[in-house]
Amino acid sequence: MTKKANVGSIDRILRMIIGVLLIAAPFVFQAQLQDQTIISYAIPVVGIVLIATALFQFCPIYRLFGASTCKVN
């Protein structure tokens, strides 16, 4: 089964930028997240997922709802 691309160019760029920012956030805001261990681990995981969907040009949530930001399907 092949997965069609459903993440467009602008969407990919935004996902990459937001993903990198989310991965860096716990390091930048270490003092504020000191007592919130779950959040400090969950934020980078969301960032990794965003980067992965940008790299693979496929978002399972978009597929679930039938959405696409990709011009060529």
CB atoms within 10 A of CB 59: 24
Residue 4: pLDDT over 90: no
Q: What is the pLDDT of residue 1?
A: 56
Q: Inter-axis angle of helices 9-28 and 37-56, to 10 degrees?
A: 160
What's the whole-model pTM score?
0.86
What is the residue-averaged pLDDT of the chain?
Answer: 91
d(CA 34, CA 1): 44
Closest by CA position to 71, among listed 13, 14, 4: 4
Confidence grade of residue 2 (pLDDT, cut at 50, 70, 90):
low
